[in-house]
């Protein structure tokens, strides 16, 4: 049976995912009442602090190992993982600057060495389900891209659409916008990635948006499915 939802999130894991990916975790965190960034100088200082921590030799080596694990998983499905390129850019040039929510997503990925997505929670339609795709399903990807799934790809669905295909990307419908106030970050593990790293990365995202966007963290949870 799928795990019961937390009080703050309507979420389940399908039996198909449990059977295919026993022990492979998935995490979410919701921050409500967010406002646009106002103190850019303090945010930049926060970024520099996190960047110094992740660039430490031992920490960076561990992050690189986890990103290599994601890369192997993506390549097994025939896709290129974005994380290695993001890591090289971050090491050389620091964290990118887009907006508070997107920046927090990149910071979470790079500080923990995991894959994180950010979405507008108000645009999700009904219950979220972590699932395994059938071949030939489609999703309207961000920026006008069309995703077509391969058999066994990991996907996140709401009650109407696939809102993210792990190895291909997130959808256009739920992308964050300038007026987004309820922000959901979610993170996929792949085989070989411990659930603790999802918690670490999602905490970076949640705490950053709460501190610099004035939001309230409604919850953070990492689910680890078991077979049967």
Domains recognised in the chain with CATH numbers: 11-223 (3.50.40.10)
Question: What are the tens digits of pLDDT across the range 3-59?
Answer: 445 789 999 999 999 999 999 999 999 999 999 999 999 999 999 999 999 999 999
Question: 113 exposed, middle or buried (CB, 10 Å; 0-12, 13-18, 19+)?
Answer: buried
The torsion of the CA quartet 22, 164, 189, 64, rounded to 10 degrees, works out to 150
Q: At what angle do helices 57-76 and 40-54 cross, to 10 degrees?
A: 90
Query: What is the structure's pLDDT at 2?
Result: 45
User: Nearest CA to 158 among 182, 126, 195?
Assistant: 126
Query: What is the structure's pLDDT at 226?
Result: 80
Question: What are the tens digits of pLDDT across the range 87-102?
Answer: 999 999 999 999 999 9
Cβ atoms of residues 87 and 93 within 8 Å: no
Q: Indicate the average pLDDT of the chain.
A: 95
- Give the single-character DSSP code of 132: E
Question: What are the tens digits of pLDDT across the range 62-92?
Answer: 999 999 999 999 999 999 999 999 999 999 9
CA 13 → CA 125, 149, 185, distances in Å?
16, 18, 17
Question: What are the tens digits of pLDDT across the range 205-215?
Answer: 999 999 999 99
Q: How far apart are CA 54 and CA 141, in angstroms?
A: 30
Question: What are the tens digits of pLDDT across the range 122-147?
Answer: 999 999 999 999 999 999 999 899 99
Q: What is the mean pLDDT of residues 114-126?
A: 97
The torsion of the CA quartet 196, 84, 146, 118, rounded to 10 degrees, works out to 40
């Amino acid at each position: 049976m799928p795990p019961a939802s937390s009080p703050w999130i309507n979420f389940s894991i399908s039996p198909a995912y449990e059977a295919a990916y026993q022990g492979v975790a998935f995490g979410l965190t919701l921050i409500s009442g967010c406002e646009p960034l106002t103190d850019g100088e303090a945010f930049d200082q926060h970024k520099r602090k996190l960047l110094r921590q992740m660039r430490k030799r031992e920490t960076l080596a561990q992050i690189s190992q986890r990103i290599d694990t994601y890369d192997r998983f993506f390549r097994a499905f025939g896709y290129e993982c974005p994380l290695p390129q993001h890591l090289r850019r971050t090491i050389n040039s620091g964290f990118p600057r887009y907006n508070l929510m997107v920046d927090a997503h990149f910071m979470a990925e790079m500080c923990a060495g995991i894959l994180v997505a950010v979405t507008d929670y108000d645009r999700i339609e009904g219950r979220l389900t972590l699932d395994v795709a059938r071949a030939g399903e489609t999703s309207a990807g961000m920026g006008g891209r069309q995703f077509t799934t391969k058999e066994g790809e990991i996907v996140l669905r709401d009650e109407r659409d696939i809102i993210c295909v792990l190895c291909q990307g997130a959808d256009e419908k739920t992308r964050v916008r300038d007026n987004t106030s309820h922000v959901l970050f979610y993170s996929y593990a792949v085989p070989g990635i411990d659930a603790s790293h999802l918690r670490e990365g999602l905490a970076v995202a949640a705490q950053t948006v709460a501190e610099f966007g004035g939001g309230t963290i409604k919850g953070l949870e990492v689910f680890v499915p078991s077979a049967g």
